[in-house]
Amino acid sequence: MLRKFIYIFLLVFITGCGFKKRTSSTKTRTVSVEARKDNTENVTSPSSRTPTSKRTQADYIIDTALEFSGVRYKYGGTTKKGMDCSGLLYVAFGENNVKLPRVSYHMAEEGKPINLQEVTKGDLLFFRTTKGAKRINHVGMVVTVEKGEIKFIHSSTSRGVMVSSLREGYWNSAFVRAKRVL
């Protein structure tokens, strides 16, 4: 009986470890991140288009966030080894002395609600990416607004830290609200 118990325990343990390895290997596929990193460089950083004397706090926060472009997605991550969406903004704002909650749905409770037509760089965009979900589960920060196109930085589960457009169908349909925290 003891031998069967040990056998089952080892089987579960080995299977569990094997499952964990497969999970981490699927998260570390970064082939598309490399390609998308070049696309994020097409978004000019605020420092290259704003004179030093007229830089805003939002410019500095955006610069900090853009330093993480191409970093892979990692749930709960807040370093260059991996970041999730709220971790990216928590770090970018925090390094610029602006305190934000750590989780996206708590971030959505901060700041002043604004209409999408009023967003400007540094504003936060909140999304519900799971169908039927009752609370917000994704956040991004506006990087540029040009000719009605809103580009925002975030960390996606499939491509890591990147800049996307709100015109993309997926993000447009998942959008819930915008907030101004600065």
Q: Is 106 labeled as catalytic in the residue annotation?
A: no
Residue among 37, 138, 159, 179 flagged as catalytic: 138
Q: Is 85 labeled as catalytic in the residue annotation?
A: yes
**Which helix (H) or strand (E) element contains residue 21?**
helix 2-27
Q: What is the DSSP string of 44-58?
A: --HHHHS-GGG--HH
Nearest in space to 128 (alpha carbons), one of 176, 89, 73, 80? 176
Residue among 62, 85, 162, 178 flagged as catalytic: 85
Tokens 């989780």 appear where? 103
Distance CA 95, CA 74 (A): 20
Q: Is 17 labeled as catalytic in the residue annotation?
A: no
Residue among 36, 121, 151, 154 flagged as catalytic: 154
**Which helix (H) or strand (E) element contains residue 141?**
strand 138-146
Distance CA 176, CA 136 (A): 8
Distance CA 151, CA 90 (A): 19
DSSP 120: -
Among all residues, which ones are annotated catalytic?
A: 85, 138, 154
